[in-house]
């Protein structure tokens, strides 16, 4: 190995590289929010009595769980405009692709959590006069939420990791900048290692926040 | 049949609150209810007993529309349960309190939230009104000091008393108790039975109680009934039923539960 380490370049260009985190966060954060909201809706739909709602949920999950994120992203950003004449900025395309993919994963996580709630809970609520929707809203979902948090964190982490594929449509996040700097200075090891640390830091910090959220649960299942 | 044609306003004059006619219910090939007919008058306390699997719990669940019957008819306060629209079913459930064997409190809510959730979300009571009413009910069931506790912090007897308060908060005209004490230790049973007794006395509440607590049944119930294999074996005023049962099947059953 005759590569001379020059981590000094990070002193000069590290801040620029780290600036990519801003874009990584503003791509992943909205995606996480949409992922969660859509995931809850899809999970609720999958347990509906109406076959149409169940069907939509199943088709959605099977489609977006199987579509590779790269294919989905390229399709939304480059193919959809051809069909519709309507195009999005790279960040918006990325948020859409990551949300659709994440929602399919989150739906499965929530469904697992919902199915773990004993049916007697719904019966007790129904006997008090709750409609099926109210049972979901006030009784099953809030209980399933905490049961789902650990696997939901995993889904969110996957979403954040998927931000790196947005390099393909030039969202100026960390990977894009690492590539840019490498081409300019021929220092792949330094810049990509820097990128690795930045992503690990971002995700680790996020996981920490989610773990704090888990501790907010004051009740225990009985 | 004439009752169905009567105008709604006159339904108040009908002394019968629950009218069950020739109800059949099966799970797959298993017949759980085989032609049950019962009238329960307003203010009456009916005790149902019978061996496990005799259909007593299923009957309660059918009255509340938690199960659908195969044939026959069930009317609560003049409203038909079978074939009811979701709105009508909700009205029936609003006038019926259900207390479960395993309490089924909502574990993610405190005691007081368990009691106020239905009045606020369904009846649209303000939080303040609902809380006041809940505190009064908690006082009544002797749980005032546990208003802010979560169900996991309560004993079985305490959970059941909260569950009773939760049902009462909807001001039902009828209470259905499905083996309210059989998941409890003997010393906790009495505290729950005491509460049920008080509910009956203070509200003159119509009740159907599935229980094997003979002492309780004799002191509170107006009528008792033995169900076996989905049919009514014997029906009599409570004291007579427990002290001088006519049917051999009833005698055998009572001997069995007394040796329990």
Task: Please write the tens of the pLDDT for every residue from A210-221.
Answer: 999 999 888 988
**Contact call for A127 and B118, based on CB within 8 A:** no
Q: Which residue of B has its CA nearest to A127?
A: B93
What are B226's two structure tokens? 């033995």
Average per-residue pLDDT for chain A = 93
At B6, the pLDDT band (50, 70, 90 cuts) reads very low
Domains and CATH numbers, chain B: 2-95+172-258 (3.40.50.300), 106-171 (no CATH)
Query: Which of A125, A146, A220 is opposite residue B152, by nearest beta carbon?
Result: A220
Q: Which of B12-21, B79-88, B105-114 has the lowest mean pLDDT?
A: B12-21
Give the residue from B171, B122, B116, B170 showing the smallest Cα distance to B147: B116
Average per-residue pLDDT for chain B = 91
Mean pLDDT of all residues in A62-69: 96
At B12, the pLDDT band (50, 70, 90 cuts) reads low
Which residues partner with B225 through β-bridges?
B48, B235
Give how far A149 is from chain B: nearest CA, Å.
Answer: 15
Residue at A56 is within a domain: yes
What residues of B are in contact with residue A142 (Cβ under 8 Å)?
108
**Contact call for A129 and B102, based on CB within 8 A:** no
Q: At what angle do helices B111-121 and B156-168 cross, to 10 degrees?
A: 20
Contact B228, B245 (CB under 8 A): no
Residue at A127 is within a domain: yes
Q: Which residue of A has its CA nearest to B94?
A: A129
For residue B30, give every residue at least 6 positions away whose Cβ sits within 8 Å of its Cβ, in sequence order, or none: none
Q: Which residue of B has its CA nearest to A142?
A: B108
Residue B142 sits at φ, ψ, to 5 deg, of 70, 35
- Taking one residue from A and the other from B, the number of pairs with CB-CB distance under 8 angstroms is 69
What are A117's two structure tokens? 């709630």
* Best of B58, B85, B89, B106 to mutate (most A CBs within 10 Å, chain A): B106
At B186, the pLDDT band (50, 70, 90 cuts) reads confident
What's the pLDDT score for residue B187? 84
Q: Is B124 on the interface with A (CB under 8 A)?
A: no
What's the pLDDT score for residue B260? 66
What's the pLDDT score for residue B2? 44
The interface pTM score, or ipTM, of the predicted complex is 0.88
What are A130's two structure tokens? 């709750």
The Cα B41–Cα B32 span in angstroms is: 25
At B15, the pLDDT band (50, 70, 90 cuts) reads confident
Residue B104 sits at φ, ψ, to 5 deg, of 50, 45
Query: Which of B94, B107, B159 is opposite residue A219, by nearest beta carbon?
Result: B107
Residue at A27 is within a domain: yes
- CATH number at A99 reads 1.10.3720.10
Residue at A19 is within a domain: yes
In the numeric block, the tokens 């038909």 are attached to B80
Give how far A28 is from chain B: nearest CA, Å.
Answer: 30
Q: Which domain holds residue A153?
A: 8-214
* Best of A48, A123, A124, A221 to mutate (most B CBs within 10 Å, chain B): A124
Q: Is B88 on the interface with A (CB under 8 A)?
A: no
pLDDT at B8 exceeding the cut of 60: no
**Contact call for B104 and A121, based on CB within 8 A:** yes
Residue at A83 is within a domain: yes
Max intra-chain CA distance, chain B? 55
Cα A163–chain centre separation: 9
Residue at A3 is within a domain: no
Mean pLDDT of all residues in A129-146: 92
The Cα B254–Cα B103 span in angstroms is: 26
Mean pLDDT of all residues in B223-251: 94
pLDDT at B4 exceeding the cut of 70: no
List strand residue ranges (DSSP E) for chain A, in order: none
What's the pLDDT score for residue B3? 46
Mean pLDDT of all residues in B150-160: 96
Residue at A222 is within a domain: no
Q: Is A55 on the interface with B (CB under 8 A)?
A: no
Contact B188, B155 (CB under 8 A): yes
Compute the CA torsion angle B193, B218, B32, A127 (nearest 10 deg).
-30
What's the pLDDT score for residue B53? 85
The Cα B32–Cα B227 span in angstroms is: 11
B229 backbone φψ class: left, alpha, beta (φ>0; ψ -120 to 50): left
**The total number of structural domains that make up chain A:** 1
Query: Which of A120, A128, A146 is opposite residue B93, by nearest beta carbon?
Result: A128
**Contact call for B108 and A219, based on CB within 8 A:** yes
Query: Which residues of chain B from 143 to 172 reach within 8 Å of chain A, CB to CB?
Result: 150-152, 159, 166-167, 170
Cα B152–chain centre separation: 24
What residues of B are in contact with residue A127 (Cβ under 8 Å)?
64, 66, 93, 96-98, 167
Rg (CA), chain A: 21
What residues of B are in contact with residue A218 (Cβ under 8 Å)?
150
Q: Is A130 on the interface with B (CB under 8 A)?
A: yes
Q: Which of A53-57, A131-135, B6-10, B154-158 has the lowest mean pLDDT?
A: B6-10
At A5, the pLDDT band (50, 70, 90 cuts) reads confident
Q: Which residue of B has its CA nearest to A139?
A: B106
What's the pLDDT score for residue B7? 47
Q: Which residue of A has its CA nearest to B119?
A: A128
pLDDT at A121 exceeding the cut of 90: yes
Mean pLDDT of all residues in A138-148: 92
Mean pLDDT of all residues in B73-88: 93
C-alpha angle with apex A104: A101 to A107, nearest 5 degrees?
145
Residue at A152 is within a domain: yes
The Cα B25–Cα A141 span in angstroms is: 32
The Cα A101–Cα A65 span in angstroms is: 6
Query: Which of A123, A129, A146 is opposite residue B170, by nearest beta carbon?
Result: A129
Q: Which residue of B has its CA nearest to A221?
A: B107
Give how far B5 is from chain A: nearest CA, Å.
Answer: 27
**Contact call for A123 and B86, based on CB within 8 A:** no
Is beta strand B231-237 parallel, antiparallel or unpaired with respect to B79-80?
unpaired
Residue A129 sits at φ, ψ, to 5 deg, of 105, 5
What's the pLDDT score for residue A72? 97
């Amino acid at each position: 190995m005759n590569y001379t380490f020059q981590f000094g370049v990070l002193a000069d260009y590290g801040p620029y590289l780290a600036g990519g985190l801003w874009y990584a966060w503003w791509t992943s954060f909205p995606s996480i929010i949409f992922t969660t909201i859509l995931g809850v809706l899809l999970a609720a739909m999958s347990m509906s009595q109406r076959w149409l709602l169940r069907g939509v949920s199943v088709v959605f999950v099977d489609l977006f769980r199987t579509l590779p994120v790269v294919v989905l992203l390229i399709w939304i950003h480059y193919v959809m405009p051809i069909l519709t004449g309507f195009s999005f900025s790279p960040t918006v395309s990325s948020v859409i692709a990551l949300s659709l993919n994440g929602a399919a994963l989150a739906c499965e996580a929530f469904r697992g959590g919902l199915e773990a709630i004993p049916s007697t809970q719904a019966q007790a609520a129904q006997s008090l006069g709750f409609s099926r929707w109210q049972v979901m809203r006030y009784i099953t979902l809030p209980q399933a939420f905490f049961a789902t948090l650990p696997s939901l964190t995993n889904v969110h982490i996957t979403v954040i990791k998927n931000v790196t594929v947005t390099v393909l449509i030039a969202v100026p996040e960390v990977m894009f900048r690492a590539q840019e700097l490498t081409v300019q200075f021929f220092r792949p090891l330094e810049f990509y290692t820097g990128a690795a640390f930045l992503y690990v830091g971002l995700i680790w910090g996020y996981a920490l926040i989610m773990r704090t959220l888990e501790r907010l649960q004051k009740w225990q299942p009985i | 049949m004439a009752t169905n044609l009567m105008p709604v306003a006159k339904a108040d004059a009908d002394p019968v609150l629950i009218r069950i006619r020739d109800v059949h219910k099966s799970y797959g090939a298993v017949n759980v209810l085989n032609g049950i007919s019962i009238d329960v008058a307003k203010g009456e306390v009916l005790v149902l007993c019978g061996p496990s699997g005799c259909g007593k719990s299923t009957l309660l669940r059918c009255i509340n529309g938690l199960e659908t019957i195969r044939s026959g008819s069930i009317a609560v306060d003049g409203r038909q349960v079978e074939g009811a629209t979701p709105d009508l079913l909700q009205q029936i459930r609003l006038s019926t309190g259900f207390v479960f064997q395993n309490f089924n409190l909502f574990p993610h809510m405190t005691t007081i939230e368990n009691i106020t959730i239905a009045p606020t979300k369904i009846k649209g009571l303000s939080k303040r009104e609902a809380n006041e009413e809940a505190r009064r009910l908690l006082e009544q069931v002797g749980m005032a000091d546990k208003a802010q506790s979560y169900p996991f912090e309560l004993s079985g007897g305490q959970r059941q008393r909260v569950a009773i308060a939760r049902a009462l908060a909807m001001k039902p005209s009828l209470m259905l108790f499905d083996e309210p004490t059989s998941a409890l230790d003997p010393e906790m049973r009495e505290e729950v039975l005491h509460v049920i007794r008080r509910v009956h006395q203070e509200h003159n509440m119509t009740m159907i109680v599935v229980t094997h607590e003979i002492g309780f049944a004799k002191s509170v119930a107006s009528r008792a009934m033995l169900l076996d294999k989905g049919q009514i074996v014997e029906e009599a005023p409570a004291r007579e039923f427990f002290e001088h049962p006519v049917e051999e099947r009833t005698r055998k059953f009572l001997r069995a539960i007394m040796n329990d």
